[in-house]
Amino acid sequence: MKLMRNCREVAHLVLESQDRPLRPIETVSLRLHWLICDGCRRFRDQQALMRVALQRWRGYREGGEGD
């Protein structure tokens, strides 16, 4: 398995991690890449923010209908 990944592969794994648990080697390769790449760290953080915002919006929509 590949340990060092490029930005495209890292972005793909970040998105995949929302659908499935990553294998340990995948997690290690992400962490190594994030040590050297500001852009991918920002992408990871933005994805986390969007995930939280979407969960809150869904909760608002489910609780707010009928009011």
pLDDT at 64: 60
For residue 65, pLDDT over 60 is answered with no
Q: What pTM, to 2 d.p., does this model score?
A: 0.80
- Whole-angstrom distance, CA of residue 44 vs CA of residue 13: 10
Q: State how far the Cα of 34 lies from the Cα of 38, in Å rounded to an integer.
A: 7
Residue spans of the domains in the chain: they are: 7-64
Q: Are 11 and 40 in contact (CB under 8 A)?
A: yes
Q: Measured at the alpha carbon of residue 35, what is the angle toward residues 52 and 43, in degrees to the nearest 5?
A: 30
Are 51 and 19 in contact, with CB atoms under 8 Å apart?
Answer: no
Chain-centroid distance, C-alpha 45: 7
pLDDT tens-digit map of 9-63: 999 999 999 999 999 999 999 999 999 999 999 999 999 999 999 999 988 878 7
